[in-house]
Amino acid sequence: MLELEVVLDFRCCLCGHDMAVTLKCETKGSKAGLDILACIKVSCPTCDEYNQIYFTPSGTLHYVAPDKKSRLPQPSRN
């Protein structure tokens, strides 16, 4: 089993706050799974909204997107 520690630096896609996350990735085999695209939800300490972080276990950050499921709809002003 291969264990990797991945450190990703990014900005919250909703408020722009600089963030970093350290992840522990485990794969079976010598290089199994290093080229797969993984996703994790991370909450921002500033705006409390969730970001979806897409990365490869080799440490490449592909993109950051807002987690649409965690956002509550805003009530109408009517």
pLDDT class of 20 with cuts at 50, 70, 90: very high
With 60 as the cut, is the pLDDT of residue 70 above it? no
- Reduce the secondary structure of 13-38 to three states and give it as a string: CCCCCEEEEEEEEEECCCCCCCCCCE
pLDDT at 25: 82
The chain-wide mean pLDDT, for the chain, equals 82
Domains of the chain: which residue ranges?
A: 2-66
pTM of the predicted protein model? 0.73
Give the largest CA-CA distance in the chain: 59
Q: Do residues 43 and 37 touch, judged by C-beta distance below 8 A?
A: no
